[in-house]
Structures are given as C-alpha cells and as structure tokens.
Amino acid sequence: METNQEITQSMPRIGDKAPSFTAKTTQGVINFPEDFLGKWKILFSHPADFTPVCTSEFMTFASMQKDFDALNCQLVGLSVDGLYSHIAWLRTIKDKIEYKGMKDVEVTFPLIEDITMEVAKKYGMIQPNENSTQAVRAVFFVDPKGIIRTIIYYPLSLGRNFDELKRILLGLQTADEFGVALPADWRPGDEVIVPTAGSCGVAKERMEAKEEDMHCYDWFFCTKKLSKEAIENALLKG
C-alpha cells in the first residue's frame, strides 16, 4: 500500500503520457491534456498567490504569451490556492503591479485551483522536504500528442528563466521538425547536430565527403547550418 509521502513524491517521466485531470480554472473547467491536443502545452506550478516571486513570474509569462501562442503553445498554471484567491490575485496584478516596465498585465491563460493537491500530487509538484503544503516551481512541456518532453523543477526561492523556457520550446519543435539534435547553448540560427552515423560506411563517407553545409569534427560529431529564417518559417504561426 502506498504511503501519503510516496503519492506526494511520485511524478511522471519524460516520454510518459501526461496524466489526465479535470480541474476548475480562472478560464473555466479544463480537461488536461485532452482539451489541448494538437497544441504544445506548458503546465507549470507556483507556490502561492500574493507572493512576490510568483507575481514576477506570472507577469513575465503573461507578457510573453503572444510568443508562446505563435509557437502553438498553451500555458496552464497551477497552485494549491482556491479559485477566488486566484481571481483576486490576478486582478491585483492587472490593477496595481508595475514591474520591470510591465504594467496593466492581464493573465488570460488558465490558472488551476488545486486546493486538494490532487493534480500537484499526480505531477510530483509537492516536494515535502522543500514544503509539504505548497507546490515547487515545476514546469512540464507536453507535446501535441500529450507526451511529456521536458521537466524542470525550481525551488520556492528561485524564479524561473523565461528565456530558457522559450528556448526549450523552440528547441523541441526544431528537433522534431528537422530531425536534428541541438548542441550546448543552442539558439535559433546556430548550427545543429546531424544524427550520428549508424554504420561504418556512413561514418567513412562523412569524414571523406566535403558537403558544403556540413562540418564533421569526427565521425560521430557533425553539424550543419540551419538558419533562423528556416526555423521561423517552419514553426511560427501567422
């Protein structure tokens, strides 16, 4: 029989189907991930409403929503606070908070009410050694088929890097679209990694061939050019 701590600490893994749930949100009831099939999803948790780090994060997410929309990505937030607390907090953000040039920020993506912690437990967002009553800053990237592709966890005290969240989304989509891998610190426009040679013959051909757009450091490590324009044309909507 599972103990409460085991249930709390359980979490899905990369490659798993995202656990399904139905929840009340600030945008009405949602069924996740089924309501958003065909879209990428970023499901993220925050510790509590009316807290400063969370406020800075929600303002940043909302200010970048057009960027995520253009990449066919649905944002979905969660905390273990109630719906009325969510509504009051988001109204406060819009009406009163100005931060880093952001003001009059309206959060229009769903924010899940999870006072029972049912969803947070399904996704391992409650980490008892950090806090047993608040969710850590978890981020789940879920692809259009409902498969978890990336998981990131931050502690309560550290706000997320939103440039990195967007880079991850772009990277996942680029790898899928072009059948490539991406090197350290990759940004759109940088060279990408060609899949490793699967046979001695292919390895020899790569080392002997002088393809104009490919550079091989060794038989297992070849890169090629992929322009930022090509990525934008393939991925961006509108």
Consecutive H or E run containing 111:
strand 111-113
Q: Given this model, what pLDDT does residue 26 score?
A: 98
Share of the chain above pLDDT 70, in %: 89
pLDDT at position 129 over 50: yes
Q: How far apart are the first and last CA of the chain?
A: 51
- Scan for tokens 């057009």, then name that residue: 66
137 is known to lie in a ligand binding site: yes
pLDDT on residue 1? 43
Beta bridge partners of 181: 193
Q: Model pTM?
A: 0.91
CATH fold for domain 4-160: Glutaredoxin (3.40.30)
List pLDDT tens digits, range 144-172.
Answer: 999 999 999 999 999 999 999 999 999 99
Does the pLDDT value for residue 221 go beyond 50? yes
DSSP string, 20-86: PEEE-BBTB-EEETGGGTTSEEEEEE-S-TT-HHHHHHHHHHHHTHHHHHHTTEEEEEEESS-HHHH
Tokens of 83: 């719906």
Whether 5 shows a pLDDT value over 50: the answer reads no
User: Which residues of the chain does CATH 3.40.30.10 include?
Assistant: 4-160
Give CATH 3.30.1020.10 domain extents, the chain.
179-235
Provide the pLDDT for residue 2.
Answer: 46
Q: Answer with the residue of higher pLDDT: 211 or 43.
A: 43
- Selecting among 54, 73, 216, 222, the annotated active-site residue is 54
**pLDDT given at position 128:** 86
> In CATH, which of 3.30.1020.10, 1.10.3720.10, 1.10.10.10, 3.40.50.1370 is domain 179-235?
3.30.1020.10
216 is catalytic: no
Residue 108 has pLDDT above 90, yes or no: yes
Q: Round to whole Å and give the CA distance between 174 and 178.
A: 6
Report the chain's mean pLDDT, rounded to a whole number: 91
> How would residue 174 be classed by pLDDT, with cut points 50, 70 and 90?
very high
